[in-house]
Structure 1
């Protein structure tokens, strides 16, 4: 049920971002979708709970963080676009640079948590992404005046902020580029808003990247395997849910190491057979 809610949300977000609406209106509709999705997930959690601690960690680390990250991102984006002066290139650039500096300070303040994320560590996950038994005692300095402790964890918001601010920083950098190079704005906006839908799951994505890495695609482009994955994520709409852990799980499969690629090859062979029958 939770995964169905999340899949529907991601599909709706893609439709909104690929629509002909202006940036602010797309942000407004995305915010509504994010809040609706978070509400549905909260209802599901409060009604059914979790069968294990690991299930709870997976939800708050990988499921809830998806709509929460998008909510923070689009709230920031909308606020920025509404406040940005309509004219005055120098003033616009100054405001964007100020916001970029503010984001950099955020990442510096939380550098330890950022390294924990980037390294895909898990030893603190039980504390970071589960709800404490005595919940009121664990949130003394929340940024929110009101927070539902039944649907929050100590680092859940910070995790979403990291992801949202990384995306928002990229948006600001491209916005700055477009202001300085107005003739290329349409091309940049197209690249930013349109991503390919990936309906095959994260394990299949990791399998594809691993095979391309084995063929030395990453070394020929002077990239690490995780950087290669990130390059593909620039055009494919898929959330990172632990690349190295998933890669290890794929390598330890007992029934075939490459089920996704095997199915792709089989589908391709069938397509060729159909084509040959008509020739």
Structure 2
């Protein structure tokens, strides 16, 4: 896996992570396994970096801007998820406040680093050599490094900060889902869909279908929210997608070929049926 990552590919890493997430177990158990896995990958990468010289400045920038932060972000994200869930109050009325407190902390982080986030979101590159190459005596090092990322031979001034940005964006989406579940705000909780149907294909197939319907704006003239559509499918087909949908969408988006494989399978099956009926 490390060899693949060093060649600027995250495919093996994401595949291994998806195996953990799609295995049996509750969200806390999966978070613990993801932390162990991602920490091990980061440690191996750091050992490699201590003795590695990149062939070009651009290779170094690519690694510290596009590769390592995405790995480190998963470590940060699942550490945050574990802390969030293991400190969740038993009192239902206090759970939303617990989630809202974390949302406030994320917003404070956004405000503190708004200029850097603007730089990343605008896809700017003019400061990349400063932010994403190893400069041992640079005056721009941020002062809140975590222990796993302190050695200046294995990190740059901003690769960890970028990892935090990526992690907190994903965390914010999950918190919204948690709050929505607690408030039971979507219409499906009022209608109480009754069905004996069970979804027996892969969860990621259903998520692919949900995203396609959402992006096609087929519900409520395009006004329906993704989480509301998701809840309807969860209730209708007796399946829980709560801790899978955002992660699985990233997996779908990162597919190198046949990105919408399930939708293509549906089209093939229907076209085949129509063809057989005509003949």
Aligned residue number for residue 142 of structure 1: 144
Aligned residue number for residue 178 of structure 1: 181
Kept in 2: contact 1:2–1:44 (CA 8 A) = no
The worse-fitting range, judged by mean Cα deviation, of 112-121 and 3-12 is 3-12
Aligned residue number for residue 240 of structure 2: none
Aligned residue number for residue 39 of structure 2: 35
* Alignment deviations for residues 14-67 of structure 1 (CA, whole Å, 9 cap, x no partner): 011111111111001101110111122223323332011100000001111121
Cα distance in 2, alignment partners of residues 235 and 19 from structure 1: 17
Aligned residue number for residue 78 of structure 1: 82
Q: How far did residue 7 of structure 1 move?
A: 2.6
Alignment match of 2:131 (pick from 128, 131, 148): 128
Residue aligned with 1:39, SS: helix
**Which runs of 5 or more structure 2 residues have no equivalent in the other structure?**
190-198, 206-215, 224-244
2:20 paired with 1:16: yes
Per the normalisation by structure 1, the TM-score is 0.65
Q: How far did residue 162 of structure 1 move?
A: 0.5
Residue aligned with 2:115, SS: helix
Aligned-pair Cα RMSD in Å: 3.8
Residue aligned with 2:51, SS: helix
Evaluate the alpha carbon distance shift between residue 141 and residue 171 of structure 1 in structure 2; reply closer, same or farther with a 3 A threshold. Answer: same
**Which runs of 5 or more structure 1 residues have no equivalent in the other structure?**
185-189, 197-216, 223-230, 241-259
Kept in 2: contact 1:96–1:176 (CA 8 A) = yes
Aligned residue number for residue 106 of structure 1: 109
Alignment match of 1:7 (pick from 11, 22, 43): 11
Aligned residue number for residue 203 of structure 1: none
Kept in 2: contact 1:53–1:126 (CA 8 A) = yes
Residue aligned with 1:120, SS: coil
Cα distance in 1, alignment partners of residues 124 and 222 from structure 2: 27
Cα distance in 2, alignment partners of residues 119 and 78 from structure 1: 31
Cα distance in 2, alignment partners of residues 151 and 237 from structure 1: 27
Kept in 2: contact 1:103–1:169 (CA 8 A) = yes
Q: How far did residue 159 of structure 1 move?
A: 0.3
Per the normalisation by structure 2, the TM-score is 0.65
Q: How far did residue 151 of structure 1 move?
A: 0.7
The worse-fitting range, judged by mean Cα deviation, of 36-45 and 53-62 is 36-45
